[in-house]
Amino acid sequence: MRFEGIYTPIITPFLEDGAIDWDSYAEVIEWQIENGVAGVIVGGSTGEFYAMSKQERIQQFKFAAERINGRVEFMAGVNDIRVDECLAITAAARDAGAQSLLVAAPPYSLPSEAELASHVLKIADTSGLSIMLYNYPGRTGVEMGEAFMTAVAKNPLITGIKESSGDYSRLPYLVRNFPEVELVVGGEEQVLEFAAWGAKAWVCASANIFPLECVQFMNIVGKQSDFERGKRLMEAFMPLMGVLEQGGSFIQCIKFGYELQGRSAGIARPPMLSMAEEQMQQMEQIINITRTTVNAIIDEKP
């Protein structure tokens, strides 16, 4: 088992002038480690990599590697619209000390499956690191389909896939046809379905708000296979998951939820705008109810 537990794609706190708040970023990392996550993902979309310069992204890798210091896995998101930049960022992540990579299709260009496979295998050759694929056609415009998976699955560096297509039929398909590539939870509202098909790891944006609770949730359904309690936990989490996945302000909601824990997340970089007051009030109510309900279920004796 290569991937097990919670891998948190961490937020990037920004100051009001848009600069990275490094002191707060260090606190983001520490809080995740303190609460028992298996890995920290630096440079994911939840971290707003798309709004950063190449230099900022590389600086983040170096900073995070020093802070993590081998205590949990350091995974780097290395996606970029330009392939040469993607490969340069990949090399920088490797040199900084990343242990694994999160790799999606380059956005906008719409490569064929053969072209996408060639791209991913170049990243593998460049890095020599374990790769978790990220299938999210809603953002990239292309799916990691059968031809792509057949081309990359035999490479020993291709070790997992964060499946975020929302297509439930992909879960048994991947498990049956590509067992060498571990299935990883990629939809916040689909944890139970993934666990039923053997997923032991969850790339979990919600862990920016509830790290300990998400770690415990994944233990209950992943390690213990306690699906009865898992159903109740999923029901308790669903209002939050619904706001995150369908609310249209994903980054802002995650950052606001983090700030409700008494921490500093700062602004979201443009083009994202601040949340409306009504939306913040709704989020605060949902988070408070979720925390109370989830912890009551977790605290029950199995």
Domain ranges of the chain: 5-224
CATH for the stretch 5-224: 3.20.20.70
pLDDT tens-digit map of 160-188: 999 999 999 999 999 999 999 999 999 88
- State the number of CA atoms in the 13 A half-sphere of 40 facing the CB: 33
Give strand pairing partners of 160.
Answer: 132, 182
pLDDT of residue 248: 74
Comparison of pLDDT for 153 and 301, the residue scoring more: 153
Instruction: Tell whether the model's pLDDT for residue 302 goes beyond 90.
Output: no
Is 108 designated active site?
no
Is 162 designated active site?
yes
- List all residues 6 or more positions away from 230 whose beta carbon is below 8 Å from its beta carbon: 191, 192, 195, 217, 220, 221
**Which position among 7, 134, 136, 258 bears the catalytic label?**
134
pLDDT tens-digit map of 99-158: 999 999 999 999 999 999 999 999 999 999 999 999 999 999 999 999 999 999 999 999
**Which position among 7, 136, 162, 200 bears the catalytic label?**
162
pLDDT of residue 165: 95
> Predicted confidence band at 301 (pLDDT cuts at 50, 70, 90)?
confident
Instruction: Tell whether the model's pLDDT for residue 77 goes beyond 90.
Output: yes
pLDDT tens-digit map of 277-290: 999 999 999 999 99
Length in residues, the chain: 302
| Spatial separation of the C-alpha atoms in residues 38 and 40, rounded to whole Å | 7
What does the chain look like in DSSP terms, one character per residue? ----EEEEE----B-TTS-B-HHHHHHHHHHHHHTT-SEEEESSGGGTGGGS-HHHHHHHHHHHHHHHTTSSEEEEE---SSHHHHHHHHHHHHHHT-SEEEE-PPTTT---HHHHHHHHHHHHHHH-SEEEEEE-HHHHS----HHHHHHHTTSTTEEEEEE-S--TTHHHHHHHH-TTSEEEE--TT-HHHHHHTT--EEE-GGGGT-HHHHHHHHIIIIIS--HHHHHHHHHHHHHHHHHHHHSS-HHHHHHHHHHTTT---BPPPTT--PPPHHHHHHHHHHHHHHHHHHHHHHTS--
| Spatial separation of the C-alpha atoms in residues 220 and 225, rounded to whole Å | 6
pLDDT of residue 141: 95
Per the CB < 8 A criterion, the answer to whether 132 and 184 are in contact is yes
